[in-house]
């Protein structure tokens, strides 16, 4: 999959949220998307997943089956969790028998079974997030896009996510995951996708395992000296805000 010169804004005259984005992701790879709040991570992921159009540029060779899990899964729907998942399975082309099997399988895997009979609007944030994960995996995705998938989940389910990612890549799929927890950084075949002020920097797999992004606060009078000391110690200083 190739991202070619992606630019995104939200209206004529509005500032660019993404600018000059070029990248590629190969089958079996995991891209870990990092960056401060407001940098454009969620916008980038939604464009790659095909949820939001780019203002300019293209996403080429996107797999046919895309699993998309937004940071805030839209749970305000008049269905039970089971009915919603069965409908999503039917939309994705599964027969009734296969749909029931897939729903039961992922509900059990994600500790969702006790809540299948609950209306979506009555689910907790964590249970709604589990429904979002399940619907993305009902059919094996060629591309799985996860925007902060750990938010609201219980410890048991959080521990499942790296294994789910590994299963998708082992089957030849690609994964993009926004991860500020560092849960996926030690997985094999990862690349670091750093979004900063709307621009993207991709770090090769071997390097990505040794890098993380942190934000520190110091007194204004110490800002320049702190930045200089960090650079002298071999760190990259992405920005200094006074």
Would you write out the chain's pLDDT as a tens digit for each of its 242 residues?
999 999 999 988 889 999 999 999 999 999 999 988 888 999 999 999 999 999 999 999 999 999 999 988 888 888 999 999 999 999 999 999 999 999 999 999 999 999 999 999 999 999 999 999 999 999 999 999 999 898 889 999 998 998 999 999 999 999 999 977 666 656 767 899 999 989 999 987 655 444 556 678 888 888 888 887 877 666 667 667 76
> For the chain, how long is the longest CA-to-CA vector?
67
Which CATH number applies to 1-65+141-205? 3.40.50.300
Give dist(CA 47, CA 94) in Å, integer: 26
Q: How far is CA 116 from the centre of its chain?
A: 24
Question: Token pair of 170, please?
Answer: 């082992």
Q: Is the dihedral of CA 232, 219, 36, 12 positive or negative?
A: negative
Bridge-partner residues for 194, per DSSP?
34, 201
Exposure letters 190-216 (e unless 16+ CB within 10 A, then b): bbbbbbeebbbebbeeeebbeeebeee
- Taking the C-alpha atoms of residue 170 and residue 193, their distance in angstroms, rounded to an integer, is 21
- The whole-angstrom separation of Cα 131 and Cα 100 is 14
- Per domain, the residue ranges of the chain are 1-65+141-205, 75-139, 212-242
Transcribe 83-138 into DSSP letters: HHHHHHHHHTT--HHHHHHHHHHHHHHTT-GGGTTSBGGGS-HHHHHHHHHHHHHS
Specify whether the CB–CB gap between 192 and 212 falls below 8 A. no
pTM of structure: 0.82
The one-character DSSP state at 181 is S
DSSP code at position 172: T
The predicted pLDDT at position 209 comes to 47
């Amino acid at each position: 999959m190739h991202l070619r010169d992606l630019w995104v804004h939200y209206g004529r005259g509005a500032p660019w949220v993404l600018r000059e984005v070029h990248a590629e992701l190969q089958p079996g790879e995991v891209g870990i998307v990092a960056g401060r709040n407001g940098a454009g991570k969620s916008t980038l992921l939604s464009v790659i997943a095909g949820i939001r159009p780019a203002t300019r540029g293209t996403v080429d060779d996107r797999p046919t089956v895309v699993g998309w899990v937004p940071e805030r899964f839209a749970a305000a729907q008049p269905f039970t969790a089971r009915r919603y998942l069965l409908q999503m399975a039917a939309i994705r082309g599964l027969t009734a028998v296969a749909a029931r099997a897939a729903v039961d399988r992922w509900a059990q895997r994600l500790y969702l079974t006790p809540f299948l009979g609950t209306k979506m609007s009555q689910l907790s944030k964590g249970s709604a997030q589990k429904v979002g994960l399940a619907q993305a995996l009902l059919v094996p995705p060629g591309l799985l896009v996860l925007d902060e998938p750990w938010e609201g989940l219980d410890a048991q389910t959080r521990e499942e996510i790296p294994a789910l990612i590994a299963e998708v890549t082992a089957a030849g799929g690609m994964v993009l995951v926004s991860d500020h927890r560092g849960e996926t950084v030690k997985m094999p075949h990862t690349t670091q996708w750093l979004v900063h002020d709307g621009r993207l920097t991709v770090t090769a797999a071997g390097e990505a395992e040794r890098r993380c992004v942190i934000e520190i606060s110091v007194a204004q009078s110490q800002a320049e000296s702190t930045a200089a000391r960090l650079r002298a110690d071999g760190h990259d200083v992405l920005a200094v805000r006074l």
